[in-house]
Chain A
Amino acid sequence: MGKLFAVLVALITLVSTGIFVARIWWPPPDISTLGIGIDRQLTETMVAAGVLFVAAQLTLAVFAWRYGGRSAAHPIRVFPGGAAPMVGFAVVLVGLEIAVLTLIGTRVWSRIFLTPPAPNALAIDVQAEQFAYCFRYPGPDGKLGAVHPELMDEGSGNFFGLDPANDTAARDDIISATLEVPVGRPILLTLHAKDVGHSFYVPDLRLQQDFVPGLTIPLHFTATRATKREIVCTQLCGLGHYNMRAYLEVLPPDRFAQWLKEQSPE
């Protein structure tokens, strides 16, 4: 039984690790300027955790193989040095690894969430609702209209609750169900939710952030490649959660400018 356990654990360990190493399932290609830091952090953690994982499982397997079912004829032996080497190993090695990963990881995290966006960033207003995203760009006046929840009316297409009758800034707001951004330009999203908690997740951008009702949360990124990707919700928001998505379309700057022009009313 000990040998069977050992073989099973060794097999499970090697197959599992092999699939990771072969990268059969792996993050999609990165299309942002900040993703590279996350990818590097992921790979480093993968190597560190992978080595510990294989070492621990194989040691367990070897011990089960070797000591399983031993008769009373064998003398009992204490692990050399007792508990002290275990404590030392865990504190020093794991501690060191934690320190290194925290140092590097904090820099990656800071670049995404603690650094203000570039001053020339294109501001886009994002509203999440059950179960869609709405994106809003300021029109030619460069200003966004104010949001009035009591005026929200999906049937009329007034997703943001704008008041064009009284609020002239709202009249030329461009509203889109697709997030259109120019390639290479910093983008600043302001996230707010209409009803419940949602989330903005684009695996290709390595970017994720919750929408919290009552809060407006800034999020910035720069896309590096013209492409079309999916934005999905990762925060359980109700029955249509599985269907809550939008597309991110990264356009060359000239095509983006053209799109913006086409959308402007009159």
Chain B
Amino acid sequence: MRFVIRRLLLFIAALFGISVVVFAALRILPGDVASIMAGINAPASRVAQLREQLGLNRPLIAQYFDWMGALITGDFGTSILTGRSVTALIGTRASITFPLIILGLLIAMAIGLPLGCAAVLARSPRVRAAFHVLAIIGGSVPALWGGLLLILLFGKGVGLIGVLPSQGFPLDGWGKPGSAVLSLILPALTVGIIVGASLMRYTRAALGDLAGSGYIDMARSCGMTRTQAVLYVGLRLAMPQLVSVIGLTFASMITGVMVIENLFALPGIGNGLVIDVGNRDLIAVQSELFLLAAFFLGVGLVVDVLHRMLDPRLKSVSAVMEVDA
């Protein structure tokens, strides 16, 4: 319990730190933000109006507290360029990104976990070497290139077996679920294969360490075969580690799929953020960056706490661990 409270306090402190960093990063833009945003040929009156609208003529401290105050009440501001509220903007984008990464993670788990187990269970050195090569190559492919290769194979128009759409998301969003899902298959497959390779490596490493341990020998000496011992005892003991990895992987996929969203022209969270940064949409970028960072910190917190709950050793010795840590 003490651990949870300490971790929570740290979470709040980190949120504050991140908010200051994000705020500062956006204020030290070289030149005048308002004139950059308004464009090169904008009349002076438009620049002045923008400056007023953004509150840029107020002291920095006041600007920061305006922003924070609004954030706490759940008001994330309004995008200057589109006039839409940032909340609505993120909502629309999330309705694409989350299905994409959930699908991607499912594919990754379907690939990575069984292959990781198989790599540990394999008895033949050749098969083990083949798994090793597979994992290394899978983890070395640039996401962009992986996506391109899949488009070359399956993409409508250019692919060898051109059956799947590779560009864009239906304009009416999830209005037509069929075509929406179809447009997510290739991108999800791309991210699934790449993330699957890394999950495979984690699974193999975690299980492989355990496979040589006394726990597995003990289980086998009680009458389990090696396969049973690795799958029942090994997987259970590796669970805390694997849950952490899968949780953190899931979170990092939100921004990790940025390149893939861009390549497949999906207007998701990452892609939208890149566009907003390019447009210098100050309020939107500021709130989006903060929310994402807060989300990642939150996931880190949840994963740390879960990790302890899954491992009875850590639960009771957490006090000792903290002193040691």
Do chains A and B interact in one complex?
Answer: no
